[in-house]
Amino acid sequence: MFEELTFLEMLVIVIDILLVAYVIYKLIMVIRGTRAVQLVKGITVILAVWFFSRYLGLNTLQWIMQQAVTYGLLAIIIIFQPELRRALEQLGRGRFFSKSTVAEEEEVKNTIEHIVKSANYMGKRRIGALITLERGTGLNDYVETGIQLNAKLTSELLINVFIPNTPLHDGAVIVKNNEIMAAGCYLPLSENPFISKELGTRHRAALGVSEVTDSVTLVVSEETGGISITRNGELHRNLDEDSLRTLLENELLKNDTANTSSRWQWGGKKNG
C-alpha cells in the first residue's frame, strides 16, 4: 500500500497526523487541571462499555450506551462550555498555536507581586481577606453575586477592599488576569467533613471553590494573620512570603510546565 504512494503524498499524510496530534495536545492542555478531566474519564468509560457490550452481544446494554453516545455530543457542549469558550478565546487571540509572550509573563509576575505584597500587609495586621484567581474554569457565576469593579489590580486597591467595616470587605475578591472583576462575592462552602474545626468561613469558602473549579484562592486569617492557599480541594497553610510567591508563579506562569514536579513542595502546613 505505502509503496504506491509518492513522496509528496506520504509527506502530506505525515503533516496531517502531526497537526491532528498537536491540536489534541493543545486541547488536553486547555482542560488540564479542570473538571473536564474527570468528565473525559467518564466518557472513556462509557465508550469502553459500549464497545464491550457490542463485542459480547449484550443488546440491552449496547442500546443504552448507543443512546448515551448519540445524545452525548449535545451534553458535551453543555458540560464543557467553560473549556470550549476558553479554547475559542485563545484561538481568537492567536494564542492557541503560540507560547506566552515575554510581555504576558511580565504582566503575570506583576500581578503576583501585588498579591504577595497585599497578603503580607494584611497578614501582619490580621486583616481577613479572600482572593480567588480565575484560571481555566470561568467564575462568572460567582462574579455576579458581588459588586463588579473591573479595575486594574494593585496591592493598594486589594488592601483597601478588605479594610474592616468597609462595604466590600465581607466576601471574596475575584481576579482575572491583572484585573479585579468583583468584590464582596459569595463562594460555595466546602462540605468536606474532614476539614479542621478551627477553620472559619473564609477557609471553607476557599476550599469549596477549589473543589468545583481550577481556581487558586488565597486566604488571610483574621484571627492569626496566617496566609493559606487552596487548589484542587487542598489547603496549604502558614505560607511565608517566598513560599507564596513560588506557588503563585508555578500556578500562573504559562511557561512553568518544566517545573510542575516542584508544585506544592514547600514548608507550609497541608490540611484537607
Concatenated DSSP letters of 89-134: HHHHTT-TTSPPPHHHHHHHHHHHHHHHHHHHHHHHTT--EEEEE-
Domain definitions of the chain by residue range: 2-92, 102-271
As given in the structure block, the three cell numbers for residue 199 are 477553620
Q: Is the pLDDT of residue 13 over 90?
A: no
Average pLDDT over residues 2-9: 74
Residue-wise pLDDT tens digits, 87-96: 666 566 555 4
> pLDDT higher for 148 or 138?
148
Residue-wise pLDDT tens digits, 172-200: 999 988 889 999 999 989 888 878 878 88
Residue-wise pLDDT tens digits, 33-59: 555 666 777 778 888 888 888 888 888
> pLDDT higher for 77 or 269?
77
- CA 148 to CA 185: how far, in whole Å? 9
Q: What is the pLDDT of residue 194?
A: 79
Pick the range with the lowest mean pLDDT from 2-16, 31-45, 112-126: 31-45
Q: Is the pLDDT of residue 261 over 70?
A: no
| The model's pTM | 0.61
Q: From edge to edge, which strands make up the β-sheet containing 179-185?
A: 147-152, 179-185, 172-176, 129-133, 216-220, 227-231, 234-237, 269-271
Please tell me the CATH code under which domain 102-271 is placed: 3.40.1700.10
